[in-house]
């Protein structure tokens, strides 16, 4: 039988390749991102896809690539994947929700210190040959108030480290979150903006957050406050940020993510924030440390490997989460189906009709989908496989061994 094939894009960690190849999976690495047409061509006969943030797995791509069974987003966000359509087509999606948290937090800390000390201005002056030693406008972050918008994995860890540095921490999140340390939850976003000396965004990439931070929010910030965005580019109106910087109401900014980003290293880049004083622009590298990329590579590749070899959907972001310890010597059958009454009984009736004994079985559901993994004592004949595949509600059937 031909080995499972994987396509890995966007310069993923070598650890991902090592893990997949050790599991007998044939890996093809490609340095850059791909557009829809390129991706469709490259995915013919390919079962696994690994991407970062630039490659879009759209409905069109999914429909044109029937061999694809799983996709790994080697990143925190998954907005580059049409998760709902992937689920409807039986494609499991995995991401790395924790692996680069520390890297993003450290970058945010470094940027708020740099901007509060006005290091970009001093750096620019010296590169221009001008000696401008002055304490004017430079402050310690100790004793200042950090406002964190989005108190998830990154925001909460940043909260702890900022407090250890002597900052007062306030946060706002649309969901109920437990405050860590002495952090204070603010009742509204406006209340946070009115009080914070530094505002940092750590919200997710859901479509409802598009245009989340614009003229009204910048106007509500304290005069001279610092602004950071290391979350998603499309949530911030950059023209409004530019206006605030030009008027002096915003004292400095660090932006790591942009509404439109080049696909690969070396491509041209334009932003209204270029060449502005006390502004740090970085090319979406918040999680791009060697340590983070290594950990992400290990985490996501392991999820893909376990899905291929054991049908485990543990930590999948779009399918029912299920992991069944395999009975030694058994054969595994994974049946993804519409979440309608009677499917489990119908699956077991097929096994019974073909004299197949069940060693172990586990069912999970998630929204419109159900997923049942069954270990059986003997292999399935073609008639049994056909019966399971043609059952009403079947989305995808995988017979692993």
Active site residue 337: no
Q: Rounding to the nearest 10 degrees, give the CA dihedral for residues 160, 161, 166, 167.
A: -70
Catalytic residue from among 284, 310, 332, 337: 284
DSSP state of 356: P
The rounded distance, in Å, linking the Cα atoms of 299 and 305 is 10
φ, ψ (nearest 5 deg) of residue 16: -65, -45
Burial 240-264 (b: 16+ CB within 10 A, else e): bbbbbbeeeebbbbbbbbbeeebee
374 strand-pairing partners: 333, 361
Catalytic residue from among 261, 294, 354, 398: 261
319, 364 in Cβ contact below 8 A? no
Local structure of 357: helix, strand or coil: coil
Catalytic residue from among 122, 144, 202, 232: 232
Q: Rounding to the nearest 10 degrees, give the CA dihedral for residues 35, 39, 40, 46.
A: -170
| The two structure tokens encoding residue 299 | 């985490």
Active site residue 284: yes
Report CA torsion sign: 194, 213, 83, 67: negative
Active site residue 310: no
Q: What are the residue numbers of the active site?
A: 232, 261, 284
């Amino acid at each position: 039988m031909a080995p499972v094939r994987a396509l890995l894009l966007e310069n993923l960690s070598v650890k991902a390749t090592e893990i997949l190849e050790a599991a007998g999976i044939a890996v093809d690495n490609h340095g850059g991102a791909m557009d829809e047409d390129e991706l469709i061509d490259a995915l013919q006969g390919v079962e696994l896809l690994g991407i970062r943030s630039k490659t879009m797995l759209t409905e069109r791509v999914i429909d044109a690539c029937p061999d694809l069974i799983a996709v790994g987003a080697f990143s925190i966000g998954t907005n580059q994947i049409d998760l709902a359509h992937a689920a409807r087509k039986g494609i499991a999606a995995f991401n790395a929700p924790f692996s680069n948290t520390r890297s993003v937090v450290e970058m945010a800390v470094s940027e708020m210190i740099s901007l509060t000390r006005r290091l970009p201005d001093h750096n620019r002056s010296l590169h221009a040959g001008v000696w401008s030693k002055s304490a004017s406008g430079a402050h310690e972050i100790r004793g200042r108030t950090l406002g964190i918008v989005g108190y998830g994995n990154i925001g909460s860890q940043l909260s702890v480290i900022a407090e250890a540095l002597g900052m007062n921490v306030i946060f706002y999140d649309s969901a109920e979150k437990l405050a860590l340390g002495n952090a204070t939850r603010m009742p509204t976003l406006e209340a946070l903006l009115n009080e914070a000396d530094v505002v940092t965004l750590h919200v997710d990439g859901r479509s409802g957050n598009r245009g989340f931070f614009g003229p009204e929010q910048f106007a509500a910030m304290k005069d001279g406050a610092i602004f950071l965005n290391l979350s998603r580019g499309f949530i911030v109106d950059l023209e409004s940020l530019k206006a605030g910087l030009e008027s002096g109401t915003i004292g400095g900014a660090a932006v790591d993510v942009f509404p439109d980003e080049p696909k690969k290293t070396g491509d041209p880049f334009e932003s209204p924030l270029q060449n502005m004083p006390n502004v740090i622009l970085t090319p979406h590298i918040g999680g791009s440390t060697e340590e983070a990329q290594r950990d992400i590579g290990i985490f996501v590749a392991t999820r893909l490997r376990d899905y291929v070899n054991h049908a485990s959907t543990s930590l999948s972001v779009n399918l029912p989460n299920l992991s069944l310890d395999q009975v030694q010597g058994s054969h595994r059958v994974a049946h993804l189906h519409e979440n309608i009454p009677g499917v489990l009984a119908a699956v077991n009736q097929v096994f019974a009709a073909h004299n197949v004994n069940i060693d172990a079985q586990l069912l999970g559901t998630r929204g419109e989908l159900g997923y049942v993994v069954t270990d059986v004592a003997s292999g399935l004949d073609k008639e049994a496989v056909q019966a399971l595949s043609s059952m009403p509600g079947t989305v995808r059937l995988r017979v692993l061994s």
